[in-house]
Amino acid sequence: MARTAGSDGEKTDAALRDAALSLIARYGYEAVSMRRLAEEVGVQAAALYRYYATKEDLLYSLLTEHMQKLVAAWEAERPRNAEPPEQLAAFVEHHIGFHVARRHSTHVSNMELRSLAPEKLTQILKMRNAYEKELRQILRTGADAGLFIVEDAGLTAMAIIQMLTGVIVWFRPDERLSVEEVTSNYLNMTMRLVGAERGSEAAALRRAG
Write out the residues near a copy of itself by the rule CB under 8 A: 26-31, 111, 114, 149, 151-152, 155-156, 158-160, 162-163, 165-166, 169-170, 177, 182, 185-186, 188-189, 192-195
In 10 A of CB 160, how many CB atoms? 24
* Residues 6 or more apart whose Cβ sits within 8 Å of residue 98: 69, 70, 73
Residue closer to a copy of itself, measured from CB, 74 or 171: 171
To the nearest whole angstrom, how small is the minimum distance from the Cβ of residue 28 to a copy of itself?
Answer: 3
To the nearest whole angstrom, how small is the minimum distance from the Cβ of residue 4 to a copy of itself?
Answer: 29
To the nearest whole angstrom, how small is the minimum distance from the Cβ of residue 189 to a copy of itself?
Answer: 5
Residue closer to a copy of itself, measured from CB, 47 or 132: 132
To the nearest whole angstrom, how small is the minimum distance from the Cβ of residue 5 to a copy of itself?
Answer: 34
